[in-house]
Amino acid sequence: MTIAALAGCLRATPQQAITRLALAIAMIALVDGCSKPPPPPAAKPPTEVTTIVVTPRDTPVSMEFVAQTQSSQQVNIHARVSGFLDKRAYTEGDYVKPGQVLFRMDQKPFQVQLDGAQAALAQQQAAMETARANLARVKPLAALNALSQKDLDDASGRYDASSAAVEQAKANVDTARLNLSYTTISSPLEGLAGAAVQQDGTYINIQSSLLTTVSAMSPMWVNFSVSENELQSFRTDVSKGLLKPPPNHDFVVDIIQADGSLFAHQGRITFAAPEYNVTTGTFLLRVSVVNPEGALKPNQFVRVRLNGAIRPNAILVPQRAVLKGAIGHFVIVVDKENKAQIRSVEVGPWQGEDWFITQGLAAGDIVVVDGMMRLSPGAPVKIVDAAAKAPAAEPKPAPADSNGEAKK
């Protein structure tokens, strides 16, 4: 307290003196407090993160494509003769066996034609027998000069003509018998019969000869297309040693159905188109797969997964560990001083929930998986186990008895 302030206190009343003295003491304390330096800021604790250690390994890979099923043999059932359709002998949509009757046409006109052809054959055979007997009589007489050579030539000519007529009559009989057999229309293969195009009683001719279709169900073909860019990328990876196909490119193919379930049987690639489709710029491949239960139907859309290829010494990191910014794709790695550092990487295709890293990481690198959003370059980190960071599960309530009270 200054001397002037002390003097002022002495001249004041006791109450004023006490008040002035208290104010002076408060001001002295305030001045002393402002003159002290501020305490140093508390050190920021390291950020807790979960990490993985990069470990290159041979990794099986698969490739998926959209595909469509196709019957390996689909036959259009046509009527071979014109006539009235008498009866449909199968149930539409059912499986049929080879030789099973599908349709019957009115046979009566064709039976009449067969009978007429057989009668004509009998007539020609009789004429041939007469000509043969006549030739047998003429030959010895001509040899004795009892008949002229012209008589012998005429008899031989009549016999040869009758023989040819018999052969023509036989051909007519075969044709009539064949036409009669065509009135019974059977399935040439085992498969699923389609709907009947023509109904009973319809007159069938060459313009309306299609009756139905039969589609073989096993094996089933599954067609898919590979773009030119995809095929070139595959070849480039193989040439660089980044991808190793199965021996003889014999891929094992899974069929993924519309609901995401796997078809019970696996297939093999059995055909590759020899040229590109100039309209779509794609390359057609075909998978053949057994389909004994008929679960796959023609023209279904499915997906095919080609298995058997391997990426040697591949580096995989979870997709959530890869970020993208102005510098491209990058990850956060932990250096030897337990500090976060940004590392640019080149990424390849996805593999499930992971991402192939083709460049930027090496064996032993520590990559941050969770917690990288709270980090900055050079920030200290604390590596924790992923299970330790997960919240503890809440205890389940005890089951209640019939009275609603918890069981002990």
Spatial separation of the C-alpha atoms in residues 162 and 167, rounded to whole Å: 9
pLDDT band at 18 (very low <50, low <70, confident <90, very high): low
Residues 6+ apart with CB under 8 A from 292: 218
54 pLDDT above the threshold of 50: yes
pTM: 0.70
Band of residue 4 on the pLDDT scale cut at 50, 70, 90: very low
Find the mean pLDDT for residues 38-65.
83
pLDDT band, residue 372 (cuts 50/70/90): confident
The tokens describing 394, both together, are 């809440």
> Cα Rg for the chain, rounded, in angstroms?
49
Whole-number Å distance between alpha carbons of 319 and 337:
25
For residue 72, give the amino acid letter.
Answer: S
Residue 9 predicted with pLDDT over 50: no
**Residue predicted with more confidence, 19 or 177:** 177
What percentage of residues in the chain have a pLDDT greater than 70?
84
Bigger pLDDT: 390 or 40? 40
Ranking 131-135, 378-382, 396-400 by mean pLDDT, the lowest is 396-400
Bond preceding residue 109 cis, omega within 30 of 0: no
pLDDT of residue 161: 94
CA 225 to chain centre: 10
Yes or no: domain 75-103+186-215 corresponds to CATH 2.40.50.100: yes
C-beta pairs of 135-144 under 8 Å, 24+ apart in sequence: 135/159
Question: Which pLDDT does position 349 carry in this prediction?
Answer: 85
| Average pLDDT rounded to a whole number, residues 266-285 | 93
As given in the structure block, the two tokens for residue 84 are 């009235």
- 401 has a pLDDT exceeding 60: no
Tokens of 251: 């891929």
Judge contact between 211 and 185, C-beta under 8 A. yes
Say yes or no to pLDDT of 405 above 60.
no
The strand pair at 47-53 and 381-383 is best described as parallel
Is a pLDDT exceeding 60 seen at residue 236?
yes
Report whether pLDDT(380) > 60. yes
Tell me, what's the pLDDT at 386?
A: 59
Question: Would the pLDDT of 269 be above 60?
Answer: yes
50-56+315-389 matches 107-182 in fold:
no
Q: Which fold has domain 50-56+315-389?
A: 2.40.420
Higher pLDDT, 2 or 28: 28
Q: What are the domain boundaries of the chain?
A: 50-56+315-389, 61-71+217-313, 75-103+186-215, 107-182
CB-count exposure of residue 224 (10 Å: 0-12, 13-18, 19+): buried
Residue 345, Cβ density class (10 Å: 0-12 exposed, 13-18 middle, ≥19 buried): buried
Closest CA to 75 of 206, 200, 171, 211: 211
Q: Are 84 and 105 in contact (CB under 8 A)?
A: yes
CATH class of 107-182: mainly alpha
Q: Are 63 and 305 in contact (CB under 8 A)?
A: yes
If pLDDT is split at 50, 70 and 90, which confidence band does 362 have?
very high
Specify the residue for token string 């007529």: 165
For the ranges 40-54, 114-128, 389-403, the maximum mean pLDDT occurs at 114-128
Question: pLDDT band at residue 267, thresholds of 50, 70 and 90?
Answer: very high
Could you tell me what percentage of the chain is helix, strand and coil, using 3-state DSSP and rounding each to the nearest 5?
30, 35, 35
**Widest CA span in the chain:** 195
| Nearest alpha carbon to residue 69 among 317, 250, 287 | 287
Cβ(117)–Cβ(175) below 8 Å: yes
pLDDT tens-digit readout, 318-329: 999 999 988 899
392 versus 211: the higher-pLDDT residue is 211
| Fold exhibited by the domain 61-71+217-313 | Elongation Factor Tu (Ef-tu); domain 3 (2.40.30)
Rounded to the nearest 5 degrees, what angle is found at the Cα of 115, between the Cα atoms of 112 and 118? 150
pLDDT at 42: 58
**pLDDT at position 10:** 44
How far, CA to CA in Å, does 313 sit from each of 56, 60, 181, 241, 319? 5, 11, 68, 10, 19
pLDDT surpasses 60 at 388: no
pLDDT-based confidence at residue 195 (cuts at 50, 70, 90): very high
Task: State residue 1's pLDDT score.
Answer: 45
pLDDT tens readout for residues 127-156:
999 999 998 998 888 888 888 888 888 889
End-to-end CA distance of the chain: give it in Å, rounded: 75
> Residue range 303-331: average pLDDT?
92
Q: State the chain's mean pLDDT as an integer.
A: 86
The HSE-up count of residue 196 (CA atoms within 13 Å, CB side) is: 18
Nearest to 262 by CA among 271, 272, 252: 252
